[in-house]
Amino acid sequence: EYSYVTPGLGLGSALSLAGWLVTISLFIIFRRKKNTN
């Protein structure tokens, strides 16, 4: 219940972490596409 009182911190951390994962995944995918071509 306490996380509902301060949703900004938890949500911000989760979003930033997800953002990093997506960025790294896209980077790896584009690298692999460049290598195959």
* Cβ contacts of 10 within 8 Å, gap of 6 or more: 3
> pLDDT tens digits for 12-35?
788 888 889 999 999 999 999 988
What pLDDT does residue 7 have?
59
Cβ proximity of 32 and 25 under 8 Å? no
pLDDT reported for residue 17: 86
Give the residue extent of every domain in the chain.
Answer: 2-36
At residue 4 the predicted structure's pLDDT band, cuts being 50, 70 and 90, is low
pLDDT at position 14, please?
81
pTM as predicted: 0.54
Tell me the residue ranges of DSSP E strands in 1-37: none
Query: So what's the pLDDT on residue 37?
Result: 62
Cα separation, 13 vs 27, in Å, equals 21
